[in-house]
Structure 1
Amino acid sequence: MTDAAGQERPSAEGGPSSTEGESYEGRRVVVAGLGVSGRAAARVLAERGAHVTIVDARDDDASREQAADLERRGVAVRLGDGDTLPAGTELVVTSPGWKPDVPLLAAAASAGIEIYGEVELAWRLRPAGAAPWLALTGTNGKTTCVRMLTQILVAAGHDAVAVGNVGTPIVEAVLEKHDVLAVELSSYQLHWSSTLRPLASAVLNVTPDHIDWHGSFEAYAADKGKIFAPGSVAVVNADDPVSAGLGPADAKAFTLGVPAPGQLGVVEELLVDRAFVDDPETSAAELAELRDVKPFAPHNVANALAAAALARAFGVPPEAVREGLRAFVPDPHRIAHVATVDGVDYVDDSKATNPHAAASSLAACRSAVWIAGGLLKGADVDDLVASCADRLRAVILIGRDRARIAEALARHAPDVPVVDVPDTDTGAMDRVVTHAAALAEDGDTVLLAPAGASFDMFTGYGARGDAFADAVRRLFPQASAQASARA
């Protein structure tokens, strides 16, 4: 099989034949977790003749309603006890967030029972001729990149769908008829996988995150690296030492600099490909212009290049890359412009839930009043603060771990004004925005890029971003009216 440049590419089927279309008939399977992926896994396994029990520690109205639906499909459900391994279990399919040391998984491992996740289950269930996978992972940018990739594939005329850590549960998508799957994989999902072999795969970046789950940065990075497999096209970030170090010697790469042979990169105002062309030594393909990347920021250009690399590995022509990037609509809470008031931009990047993401967001600002804080998940913030100190007009701190950011600011940016907001009530964001507006000057950006997770104060990063945007609109109703008029 060849790509658009006439180069050989891996088989679309890929993967070890021993697991393709694996049978689960009669097997006693425990599914750990009643979340979206757990329910999807339980349904698919029951349809294939497995004896399925799904367990979850929750026992509320929503869980009981979900349990009733599964029981009608022949799945046994045990609520209120997620620790005890049912007798006779032959396989455990775990939801990705379950840590290896929780009692049920530890008991299964001790008993020699195989444990894997919904993504691994999906790979093993693929029928003959199933759609190939274009897979990606990274600390930041995964969802943006996979949606860019999907748009590029659609622009090339393919039936493509985004799955994995986003969109349709992958265990259902592999059984549908698609040309190709754009697969976003988290470190949790990769931890519980072992035989994946995508047609092409990419690691966007790797910086400390989820250390509390993995135990160390080295273990976290190693799980990210599991996305690469023999026979697949590997794509690494040449500007990220950890990503580059995880890939094989023959990996393709993307860079924000001028690309060398075997790389995609930037030449003046153009995104160009010197990897998937007939003669990488002497030629390049123009893919798009920088202005085609939305929202424009250096890390989003990197996302676009990674998406383009995976699409090109599948044989997508250059013009489809341009069309797909132009058609891409960013998800909410990712460098989303809320309002401009008296020369000050108010920007919601609530999805910046770790220091690396916040650093990328701050790098796009000339001068920022930074709203930061939340749950740091074991990550260090010293490098973040040191790297952005010269861009900070002021800092407003929120959330449980705000003191750690305050300490880093005292070390690396002692002259930057800091406002500590300890409040966690529903009106807290109004006070945050009021403080920020008082400190901001013409040309500044009031930037919500917290560097931490949101669950100490909100139900998710989306709720945090909505609270920020609503507070801006309440403080400046004229800006809201102007935005409505423009719409």
Structure 2
Amino acid sequence: MTSAANPATGGRTGGDLAGRRVTVAGIGVSGVSAARALARLGAHVTVVDGSDGEPQRARAAELAADGAAARLGADATSTLPEGTELVVTSPGWRPDSPLFAAAEAAGAEVIGDVELAWRLRGPGAAPWLAVTGTNGKTSTVRMLAAMLDAAGLRTEAVGNIGTPLVDVVLADEAPGATPHDVLAVELSSYQLHYAPGVRAHSAAVLNLAPDHLDWHGSMAAYAAAKGRIFEGNEVACVYNVADPATEALVREADVVEGCRAVGFTLGAPAPGQLGVVEGLLVDRAFVADPRREARELAEVADLVPPAPHMVANALAAAALARAFGVAPAAVRDGLRAFRPEPHRIAHVADVGGVGFVDDSKATNPHATLASLTAYPSVVWIAGGLAKGADFDELLAASADRLRGVVLLGADRALIADALARHAPEVPVVELTRTDTGAMADAVREASGLARPGDTVLLAPACASWDMFANYGERGDLFAAAVRELAADRDDGPRAGRG
């Protein structure tokens, strides 16, 4: 970790944008937000998107009212609109997109909507406490926002979740506005790739595991994108003691003089770390004498659920909150107020002595391993789009917990092959059905494999887009199937007694 002068001032560039020709890549939520803001700041805006369906046309019509043009369809993204000086991209656009090659040839800068938001910040704007990682970002950011709120600070969870950052920044800059004191910002690897100028007050990398390699091209490129979150940090770079790759990113970062490396661990913390001692979350970093002093922050029992990966997320959030000066009592109160988002290790029901848990948000092997290790005996429902992931490490670490496995989705054979190598004795049911009704079949098959005391766990280790609109729909269908199973089990005995 090297120290440098802080280039963190955003420097409002609204005036610089007036009259410039800007192309916005993508007409989704972040693209519409960026296009509308740019048009209102006086830029000549053209939005391009490869889709030309009814939703895209409706958004284009709305943007036209703000003075932004739109080009839709397959040909719209192959060439750069004439005269483009700046491209603002939505997060999911790949770096090798033809549009960006054309921008490079034309000498036009390519940035993301997060970078745009950063550049639109005025003097005295709310500092950012930023979080990234392969898994746990959303839970950690929402925990952090809850802690900041408990401390009486005006805050919001933003970035990769919630309100687009551009909208939040411009709302804070509006005449008569009551601006935020601090923002809890979730940043994905996609967003960080296109955000070279962002400089956080403090930031955390929760973990690093192979994910989105089809987009980034390599694990090294993926890690480098994540590591950008530490650049220019002012107070603390928070890393996971159990994941040396996150500490390596801290060591490589160029930060403000005096910025500290702060670790979090599920074990007893060393000086300069946060950790767990006898069921308590304790701080040995933000105390007067870290070598001799530890401050109690909360109890593990304050967390719902108190699964190990949720405890790790809580410690990371606490480290960022403490870096911003939040008192221990507010950390505790924030954790007590926090409830996970849907589809994150959510208990759906108990049916016949078997627990059914929805962790549809576990879209990669790393997230799924955290779920599997939370339960001693599991019937696992998995499969979908692998996104270039490998499942051997996951199965090697969790095979002894598997009672049975039900596989569905486009890349289920990859998981089946890994099971054959690492858990050949575990019964596996493969479903070939490819419509959304497959989830009800999966729940019934899993129920048949389970025994009282087991957990049927939907933690697919894959993306959902091959069969479902998103991981939310996948989880909703799982929960609906579980409720139907419970109703069937209740109906049977009643009918027999009649």
TM-score of the superposed pair, with normalisation by structure 1: 0.94
- The 5 A counterparts of 1:56-455 are 56-80=49-73, 81-175=76-170, 176=172, 177-232=179-234, 233-248=236-251, 250-455=260-465
Q: Partners of 2:248 and 2:488 in 1: how far apart?
A: 50
What is the DSSP-based 3-state SS (H/G/I as helix, E as strand, rest coil) of the residue aligned with 1:247?
helix
> Which 10-residue stretch deviates more, 108-117 or 206-215?
108-117
Q: Deviations over 1:81-109 (max 9, x none)?
A: 12220110000001110011111111112
**TM superposition shift of 1:248:** 3.0
Q: Deviations over 1:9-50 (max 9, x none)?
A: x99xx7444744453111111000001111111111111111
**Which amino acid is 2:81 matched to?**
P
What is the DSSP-based 3-state SS (H/G/I as helix, E as strand, rest coil) of the residue aligned with 1:476?
helix
Provide the residue aligned with 1:476 in structure 2: 486
Closer, same or farther: CA 460–18 of 1 in aligned 2, 3 Å: closer
Q: Deviations over 1:111-133 (max 9, x none)?
A: 22110000000111001111000
Q: Deviations over 1:291-318 (max 9, x none)?
A: 1111121000000000001111111000
Q: Partners of 1:150 and 1:49 in 2: how far apart?
A: 33
Q: Deviations over 1:391-425 (max 9, x none)?
A: 00000001011001000000000100000111112
**Which amino acid is 2:353 matched to?**
G
**Which amino acid is 1:194 matched to?**
P
Q: 1:32 aligns with which of 25, 29, 42?
A: 25
Provide the residue aligned with 2:255 in structure 1: none
**Which amino acid is 2:217 matched to?**
G
What is the DSSP-based 3-state SS (H/G/I as helix, E as strand, rest coil) of the residue aligned with 1:303?
helix
Q: Deviations over 1:147-196 (max 9, x none)?
A: 01111100000110011100010011112211111000000000001111
Q: 1:43 aligns with which of 36, 40, 50?
A: 36
Q: Partners of 1:20 and 1:284 in 2: how far apart?
A: 41
Q: Partners of 1:433 and 1:231 in 2: how far apart?
A: 46
Q: Partners of 1:112 and 1:39 in 2: how far apart?
A: 24
What is the DSSP-based 3-state SS (H/G/I as helix, E as strand, rest coil) of the residue aligned with 1:134?
strand
What is the DSSP-based 3-state SS (H/G/I as helix, E as strand, rest coil) of the residue aligned with 2:229?
coil
Q: Partners of 1:121 and 1:160 in 2: how far apart?
A: 20
**Which amino acid is 1:118 matched to?**
D
**TM superposition shift of 1:75:** 0.7
Q: Percent identity?
A: 63
What is the DSSP-based 3-state SS (H/G/I as helix, E as strand, rest coil) of the residue aligned with 2:203?
strand
**TM superposition shift of 1:231:** 4.3
Is residue 473–residue 479 contact of structure 1 (8 Å, CA) maintained in 2? no
**TM superposition shift of 1:321:** 0.4
Q: How many residues were matched structurally?
A: 470
Is residue 88–residue 112 contact of structure 2 (8 Å, CA) maintained in 1? yes
Q: Partners of 1:479 and 1:280 in 2: how far apart?
A: 56
**Which amino acid is 1:429 matched to?**
M
What is the DSSP-based 3-state SS (H/G/I as helix, E as strand, rest coil) of the residue aligned with 1:253?
strand
Q: Partners of 1:329 and 1:462 in 2: how far apart?
A: 17
Q: Deviations over 1:263-296 (max 9, x none)?
A: 0000111000111111111111110000111112
**Which amino acid is 1:28 matched to?**
R
Closer, same or farther: CA 231–373 of 1 in aligned 2, 3 Å: closer
Q: Partners of 1:322 and 1:448 in 2: how far apart?
A: 30
> Which 10-residue stretch deviates more, 421-430 or 470-479?
470-479
Q: Partners of 2:359 and 2:80 in 1: how far apart?
A: 41
What stretches of structure 2 of length at least 5 have no aligned partner?
173-178, 253-259, 492-498
Q: Partners of 1:441 and 1:211 in 2: how far apart?
A: 37
**TM superposition shift of 1:479:** 7.9
Is residue 374–residue 456 contact of structure 1 (8 Å, CA) maintained in 2? yes
What is the DSSP-based 3-state SS (H/G/I as helix, E as strand, rest coil) of the residue aligned with 2:239?
strand
What stretches of structure 1 of length at least 5 have no aligned partner?
1-9, 482-487
> Which 10-residue stretch deviates more, 55-64 or 216-225?
55-64
Q: Partners of 2:57 and 2:382 in 1: how far apart?
A: 37
**TM superposition shift of 1:453:** 0.2
Is residue 10–residue 118 contact of structure 2 (8 Å, CA) maintained in 1? no
Is residue 287–residue 321 contact of structure 1 (8 Å, CA) maintained in 2? yes
Q: Partners of 1:231 and 1:164 in 2: how far apart?
A: 17
Q: Deviations over 1:238-267 (max 9, x none)?
A: 111111111138411111110011100001
Q: Partners of 1:317 and 1:28 in 2: how far apart?
A: 47
TM-score of the superposed pair, with normalisation by structure 2: 0.92
Q: Partners of 1:78 and 1:433 in 2: how far apart?
A: 44
What is the DSSP-based 3-state SS (H/G/I as helix, E as strand, rest coil) of the residue aligned with 1:251?
strand
Closer, same or farther: CA 42–479 of 1 in aligned 2, 3 Å: farther
Q: Partners of 1:326 and 1:480 in 2: how far apart?
A: 35
Is residue 155–residue 180 contact of structure 2 (8 Å, CA) maintained in 1? yes
What is the DSSP-based 3-state SS (H/G/I as helix, E as strand, rest coil) of the residue aligned with 2:17?
coil
Is residue 200–residue 232 contact of structure 2 (8 Å, CA) maintained in 1? no
Closer, same or farther: CA 479–38 of 1 in aligned 2, 3 Å: farther
What is the DSSP-based 3-state SS (H/G/I as helix, E as strand, rest coil) of the residue aligned with 1:160?
coil
What is the DSSP-based 3-state SS (H/G/I as helix, E as strand, rest coil) of the residue aligned with 1:287?
strand
Q: Partners of 2:299 and 2:13 in 1: how far apart?
A: 42
> Which 10-residue stretch deviates more, 69-78 or 354-363?
69-78
Is residue 339–residue 480 contact of structure 1 (8 Å, CA) maintained in 2? no
Q: Partners of 2:8 and 2:485 in 1: how far apart?
A: 58
**Which amino acid is 1:42 matched to?**
A
Is residue 397–residue 418 contact of structure 1 (8 Å, CA) maintained in 2? yes
Q: Partners of 2:436 and 2:462 in 1: how far apart?
A: 19
